[in-house]
Every structure is written in C-alpha cells, then in structure tokens.
C-alpha cells in the first residue's frame, strides 16, 4: 500500500465553549529574557489562541516555549532567554478554551475502538513484537526521503560496529537523512574507525584491541585539530567511508553539540550549550521524522525541542519520533513526555540500522 500521512482533524470552533470564550490575554515583556507573571507554557501539542475573535494555531509547538503574538498576527514560539522587551506574551494557565487558550491533543487520534481495555504486554519492552513497527518505518522513510525532513540523533554505539557504521553511511548517501545531530564522541569514533579501523581502541569488526589503540581517538582528535576542520582531515587523510564522511560529501548538515566530558574536542563541536541548542533547533523544527539511537541525553533534548506537528504545503501533519535503545528506561523516558507519535524499540541499535539498510536499499540500487 502507498504510505499516507495521518489526516489532521480540525477542532470545531463553531460550538461552545469556543464561541463564548474571551480573547487570549496579552502582556508585554518588561525585562529581556523574563516572561510576564502567569505566562502560558507551551506543550508538544497543537495549541490555539483566540485573537480578535478568531482561533489561531501556533506556527509550531514546543515544550517549555512561550507563545508570542507577532506583528503579522501569527503566534510565534519563543524560548524564555530569547524574549525581548515589548514582546506580546500570551498569559493564562487553563487549556480548555475558557481563557482563549486551547490545547488540542486529539488532532491525529485514531477512531479505533476495537482494542481491549485490559491487555497483557501493553507497554514497550524487550518482549514487545516489533515487526509491524519496522514495516511501518520502512514505508515512512521511503515516503519521507522525497517528501519530508529526516533527522537522525546519534550516540557513538552506532559507529562501534563495522556493519552498522557501513549501513548508516549507506542510508545517508542514499537520501534517508536530511540532518544529523550528535556529540563529539560519535564523530570522533566514526573518524577513528575510518583512519585506524578502531572505535575507542577496539577493532570495529573483530573486537581486537591493538597495542596502544587506546590512543587512537586522541590521535584522531589531534590530527583533526591540526588539519583545522573535519573536511580538511578527510581530504588530507584520504578518508572514503563512514557516517561523517557520508554526511559531509552529501551536504547533510551535521550538528555536533559538546558536553563537559568531551576530549579535544573536534573543531566543529559547539561548546556553548545554548548555541548548540539553537543549531539543533534549526533542524528539529523542520523535522517530519526524528530517529534517535542510543543517546539518552541527546534524545531527550532533541525530542523536547521537536514539535509534535508541522505544516507542509498548507497541511498539518504529525512529526514521527522513533527512539531506539537497548535500555528500557531510556526509551520510556522519551515516551513519558506524552508525544503524539513516539514509537520506541528496545533493541540493539546496530541491528536496527542494519535492518533498515537491508530493507530500504536494495542490492544493485544503493550501497
């Protein structure tokens, strides 16, 4: 079957309590970076605000953002630190419409009523059957390749294995990635594998640890800093494979956000957390599918800054979020945020990526 994006069901504002609801209250910012008292904090769901008698959908929604009425009459989502004196912030803490604020959590809800109220294994765990999830993801990514914006959020585990590193590189080269978000470790160990055949000193294929291989990731960082950039290193060392190589050669944006424990770090790693957040957000706000692999902190960060919906060609559509990790706690942490479209798979990310490559890229079509 041809993949179809779920249809969005608009609220019916031609009924109560919407008709008699007042306009949303607006208070101007008095101090840069400080929201007015009783400000409204946004959720991940579509939110509507009554302005001059008309219900207006926020251009996007994002956890812990503040709704600001723009000069063009649109509702903008602004981080607290980016509020400026004079910004018109919508205030109010109720969500059912009586303050001119309506949080709409049922826009993409299924009308399926056949499910049992009580059922075994209704959570997501190592015992869950994932065949249907894989098949739906294959269809989704084939659609999103040409019609969406696929953002990958990567932990280093995905490049520790020879096959998964090659598989993800192939997926990027064949158009199944439009942006990659990661940290210093993923890029470092991917380039280490390209140059030395190891990741954190261990051979990515046979798991052997050659003499002094524990120096390899530091040597790699040092060489990159000497070259001045990752691109310059790739050219200087003749690197021809890997996730970073595929992203750079295919002009896929690569955002590397730093952390306090980073070695080096590599030259493009963004040390300022707010600058890194801004760069990540450029891609999460465009995302139509987000795939997070084995990185709890990056996953939660990216998930929280990703809208639950987006507008494409005038249509409102869901943003699909996938979280894959071997630890049940890690996947449930993101799912607990209440997103409309988070699908979690408790599995080895290396096996997951290889499955995707084998099913999305046919022999003789891609590599």
Backbone CA torsion sign across 234, 238, 242, 246: positive
Q: Which structure tokens are listed for 104?
A: 């709409």
Number of domains the chain contains: 2
Tell me which of 12-16, 48-52, 302-306 is least confident: 302-306
Q: Please, are residues 307 and 47 in contact by the beta-carbon 8 Å criterion?
A: no
Q: Minimal CA–CA distance to 62: which of 262, 321, 281?
A: 281
Together in a domain, 77 and 141: no
Beta strand segments in the chain, E: 25-28, 47-51, 54-57, 66-69, 75-78, 88-91, 101-103, 150-154, 179-183, 198-199, 202-203, 254-257, 289-293, 309-312, 315-318, 320-325, 342-346
Together in a domain, 90 and 149: no
Tell me which of 19-23, 102-106, 125-129, 168-172 is least confident: 125-129
Residue 229 lies in domain: 130-360
Q: Is the pLDDT of residue 363 over 80?
A: no
End of a domain among 103, 119, 151? Answer: 103
What pLDDT is stored for residue 109 in this prediction? 74
For the chain, the average pLDDT equals 91
Find the mean pLDDT for residues 130-134: 93
Give the number of other Cβ atoms within 10 Å of residue 242's Cβ.
24
Q: Is the pLDDT of residue 1 over 90?
A: no
- Cβ neighbourhood burial of 226 (10 Å; 0-12, 13-18, 19+): exposed
| pLDDT above 70 coverage of the chain, percent | 93
> Is 296 part of any domain?
yes
End of a domain among 103, 119, 138? Answer: 103
Q: Please, are residues 326 and 347 in contact by the beta-carbon 8 Å criterion?
A: yes
Q: Please, are residues 345 and 311 in contact by the beta-carbon 8 Å criterion?
A: no
What pLDDT is stored for residue 117 in this prediction? 37
Q: Please, are residues 247 and 181 in contact by the beta-carbon 8 Å criterion?
A: no
Confidence of residue 251 (pLDDT cuts 50, 70, 90): very high
């Amino acid at each position: 079957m041809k993949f179809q994006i779920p249809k969005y069901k608009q609220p019916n504002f031609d009924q109560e309590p919407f008709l008699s609801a007042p306009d949303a209250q607006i208070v101007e910012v008095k101090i840069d970076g400080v929201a007015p008292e009783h400000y409204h904090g946004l959720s991940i769901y579509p939110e509507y605000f009554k302005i001059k008698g008309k219900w207006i959908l926020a251009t996007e929604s994002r956890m812990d953002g503040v709704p600001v009425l723009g000069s063009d009459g649109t509702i903008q989502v602004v981080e607290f630190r980016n509020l400026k004196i004079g910004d018109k912030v919508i205030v109010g803490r109720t969500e059912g419409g009586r303050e001119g604020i309506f949080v709409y959590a049922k826009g993409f809800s299924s009308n399926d009523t056949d499910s049992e109220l009580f059922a075994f294994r209704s959570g997501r765990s190592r015992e869950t059957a994932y065949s249907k999830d894989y098949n739906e993801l294959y269809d989704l990514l084939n659609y999103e390749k040409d019609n969406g914006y696929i953002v990958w959020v990567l932990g280093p585990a995905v490049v520790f294995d020879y096959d998964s590193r090659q598989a993800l590189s192939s997926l990027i080269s064949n158009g199944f990635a439009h942006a990659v978000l990661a940290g210093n470790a993923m890029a470092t160990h991917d380039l280490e594998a390209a140059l030395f055949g190891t990741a954190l000193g261990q051979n990515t294929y046979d798991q052997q640890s050659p003499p002094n291989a524990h120096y390899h990731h530091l040597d790699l960082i040092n060489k990159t800093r000497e070259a001045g950039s990752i691109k310059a290193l790739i050219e200087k060392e003749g690197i021809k494979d890997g996730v970073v190589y595929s992203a750079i050669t295919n002009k896929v944006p690569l955002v590397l956000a730093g952390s306090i424990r980073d070695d080096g770090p590599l030259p493009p790693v963004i040390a300022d957390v707010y600058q890194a957040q801004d760069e990540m957000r450029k891609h999460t706000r465009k995302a139509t599918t987000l795939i997070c692999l084995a990185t709890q902190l990056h996953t939660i960060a990216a998930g929280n800054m990703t809208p639950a919906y987006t507008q494409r060609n005038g249509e409102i559509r869901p943003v699909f979020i996938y979280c894959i990790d071997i630890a049940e706690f890690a996947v449930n942490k993101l799912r607990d945020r209440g997103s409309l479209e988070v699908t979690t798979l408790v599995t080895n990310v290396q096996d997951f990526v290889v499955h995707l490559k084998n099913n999305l890229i046919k022999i003789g079509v891609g590599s």
